[in-house]
Amino acid sequence: MNSDLLEIIADETQLSEKVNELAEKISSDYNGKSFVAVGILKGSVIFFADLIRKLDLCKFDFMAASSYGSSAVSSGKINIKKDLSEDVTGKDVLIVEDILDTGNTMYLLRDYIMSKGAKSVKICVLFDKPSRREKSITADYTGFTIDDLFIVGYGLDYDEKYRNLPYVGVLKPEIYS
Ligand code: IMP
Ligand code: MG
């Protein structure tokens, strides 16, 4: 285990089992209908790569975005750093994200993709921290629900580090405080 971590909360086997479980649910819900999977950069890339290889009939695309302005203000703005390259008009879209925290980014992203004319937008997240939520938003597919802990690995970073760890662990508080 990386020495900056307190403990591992999902090892490679647990991650791969969870990805299979999510892929089965998604495949059974879309039931042979084609859809566009949109991976949110950069945190979702490893999860995204593992997940889409288990899905049928999906095209894929990426976006990079963050929310800005005070999170207490309900009309937050979205800062799009990389836009969609596919036309999603009339398409079913599945957003794939690493973690749902306050929900501010996802709330705006979902609206943004709907405003591009998508027929439907569903959300798949590997981790969820519901106790941190500031916007009323729930994912359609959730891997692990966790307490208010700062986690890294399998795409998730702190200051762009740890994304390449093949497992997910809790970062020692002294590293980020
Ligand atoms: P929010 O839901 O708008 O607050 O933002 C979610 C984003 O914050 C995620 O996509 C991550 O990039 C980042 N984030 C939130 N919690 C964590 C964590 O525990 N580890 C690493 N990144 C996190
Ligand atoms: Mg992210």
The active-site residue out of 101, 111, 128, 148 is 101
Give the count of domains, the chain: 1
pLDDT per residue, tens digit, the chain (177 aa), is 999 999 999 999 999 999 999 999 999 999 999 999 999 999 999 999 999 999 987 899 999 998 775 544 445 788 999 999 999 999 999 999 999 999 999 999 999 999 999 999 999 999 999 999 999 999 999 999 999 999 999 999 999 999 999 999 999 999 998
For residue 78, what are the β-bridge partners?
Answer: 67
Alpha helices (runs of H) in the chain, residue ranges in sequence order? 12-30, 45-52, 104-115, 173-176
98 is catalytic: no
Q: Closest by alpha carbon to 140, among 14, 58, 30, 65?
A: 30
Q: Whose CA is nearest to atom 16 of ligand 1?
A: 101
CA 101 to ligand 2 center in whole angstroms:
10
Task: Decide if 19 is inside a domain.
Answer: yes
Task: Decide if 175 is inside a domain.
Answer: no
Q: Where does ligand 1 bind, in terms of residues with CB under 6 Å? A: 43, 67, 97-106, 150-152, 156
Task: Decide if 176 is inside a domain.
Answer: no
Looking up residue 25, the CATH number of its domain turns out to be 3.40.50.2020
Give this prediction's pTM. Answer: 0.95
Residue 14 CA, chain-centre distance (Å), reads 17
- The residue segments making up the domain with residue 26 are 12-146
